[in-house]
């Protein structure tokens, strides 16, 4: 398995480290505009591999060194301000960055699955699919996977059940219009009630990323763990069901934009997109998410 990470900032380097520690790739290639940064991170991660029972080759490289990758992890981004309040502020800059970078890398790895981390998540994931012409099943955004994890962590503290045993999803946009699909949330087959306190948890989970951003200038650990989980499900064909951003094809009447729904992820990318039985309020929220992403795409140009 060959994995290339494009953009070795805080998220890219952390994700590369996690994937190496789990032995998800026999060959891991790091690419960054600043080659010295990529070389330093590759050397550091390679030396850390001396402590693990996996054979992993980690190296920095030029675009040509990524040729034949099975998975391309897109982490490149224009700089973010600590005061950023909406991911759509990155739309124009990152939209241009995608147009500049992706054709080169996908031409070198035409059979790759792309895992996108670049924000604004849903608009960029859709733009990647359009620019590359890849089948939609092979273009996956991390979407609301990390939002769902943040929500489950808060919910876990209230109900006293481990987050992994809570089937509670944040769906729609990885952004301001995201919503908690509490009408279909369960634990052990028992329905999780939609209380005002639990809806407040959504707002707390939504704002937590910006709280971290304001304090330390970036978020990396939770996002990198989301990347690791998606890549693991692909590399080992585990068929995890994960709320990730994929192109919509009619759910709630939404087409031609990328949003998060529970999707089964395996060696070929997206094997199946599940259609949860949302209530009327949640269906309307999903459609609002689609309008928000279309607005961001228009802003991107």
Catalytic center residues:
174
List Cβ neighbours of 209 (8 Å cut-off, separation of 6 or more): 146, 150, 219
- Residue 69 burial (10 A CB sphere; 0-12, 13-18, 19+): buried
- Report in angstroms the alpha-carbon separations of 278 from 164, 281, 284: 21, 8, 9
**Residue 171 CA to its chain's centroid (Å):** 13
Asked if 156 and 144 count as a contact pair (C-beta separation under 8 A), the reply is no
What DSSP element (H or E) covers 199? Answer: helix 196-216
CB contact set of 129 (below 8 Å; sequence gap of 6+): 136, 139, 247, 258
Give residues with Cβ within 8 angstroms of 167, minimum separation 6.
Answer: 185, 186, 187
**What's the rounded Cα separation, in Å, for the pair 87 and 161?**
31
136 within 8 A of 246, measured Cβ to Cβ: yes
| Rounded Cα distance, 174 and 289, in Å | 9
């Amino acid at each position: 398995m060959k994995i290339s990470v494009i953009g070795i900032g805080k998220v890219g380097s952390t994700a590369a480290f996690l994937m190496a520690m789990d032995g998800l790739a026999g060959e891991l290639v790091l690419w960054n505009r600043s080659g010295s940064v990529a070389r330093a991170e590759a050397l550091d991660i390679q030396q850390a591999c001396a402590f693990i029972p996996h054979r992993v080759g980690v190296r920095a490289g030029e675009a040509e060194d990524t040729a034949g990758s099975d998975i391309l992890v897109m982490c490149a981004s224009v700089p973010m301000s600590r005061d950023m309040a909406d991911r759509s502020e990155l739309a124009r800059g990152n939209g241009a960055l995608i147009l500049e970078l992706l054709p080169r890398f996908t031409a070198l790895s035409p059979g790759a699955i792309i895992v996108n981390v670049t924000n604004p998540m849903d608009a960029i994931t859709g733009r990647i699919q359009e620019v590359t012409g890849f089948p939609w099943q092979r273009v996956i955004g991390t979407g609301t996977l990390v939002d769902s994890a943040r929500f489950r962590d808060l919910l876990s503290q209230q109900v006293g059940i481990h987050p992994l045993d809570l089937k509670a999803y944040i769906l729609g946009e990885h952004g301001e219009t995201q919503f908690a699909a509490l009408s279909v949330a369960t634990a052990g087959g028992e329905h999780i009630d939609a209380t005002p306190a639990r809806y407040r948890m959504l707002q707390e989970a939504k704002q937590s990323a910006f709280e971290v951003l304001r304090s330390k200038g970036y978020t990396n650990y939770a996002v990198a763990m989301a990347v690791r989980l998606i890549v693991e499900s692909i590399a080992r064909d585990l068929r995890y069901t994960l709320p990730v951003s994929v192109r919509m094809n009619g759910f709630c009447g939404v087409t031609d934009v990328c949003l998060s729904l529970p999707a089964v992820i395996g060696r070929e990318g997206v094997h199946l997109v599940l259609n949860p039985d949302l209530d009327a309020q949640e269906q309307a929220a999903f459609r609002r998410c689609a309008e928000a992403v279309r607005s961001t795409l228009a802003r991107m140009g």
